[in-house]
Amino acid sequence: MPIMYTRVDNRLVHGQVGVTWVNHLGANMIVVANDEVAEDEVQQSLMDMVVPDTVEMRYFSIQEAIDKLNLAGDWQHIFLVVRTPQDVLRLVEGGIDLKKVNLGNMHFKEGKKQITSTISVDEDDKKTIKALLDRGVQLEIRRVPDEPATDIMKVFS
């Protein structure tokens, strides 16, 4: 399957994702898998603005992503972006084979505990992360490509 990299970022596609990560990966397509954004043309337009014209954008609901990602051609170098680890789990449970996932940004909010400068988790996040690890998905924390990756198990309890 041509998914090059998968990233959890609650901001989805912004300058860092649309330029820095795309250039680092050599991706020619970004797939945003998010039920809300799949129906919101305004959010899609805002994300389209930060991506080079040479990169195709697709906005799928989680179910559409499950239905379509396994059909992608070998010429498609896909950077998959989701908002939450729960979205990753739904994709994996739906048959998308994700071996490694980058936790890039999960903002702090009420009820969450900050475990790194960019990652905050609540009990549901912890349960979901454990379920992903139990399914053999490797989880790393990394904001930008030139930063060393941190294995989630080094900061997760």
CA 30 – CA 35 distance, rounded (Å): 16
Catalytic (active-site) positions: 14
Q: Are 82 and 7 in contact (CB under 8 A)?
A: yes
- Position 116, amino acid: T
For the sheet with 150-151, list strands across it.
56-60, 29-33, 78-82, 3-9, 100-105, 138-141, 150-151
Phi, psi at 82, each rounded to 5°: -130, 165
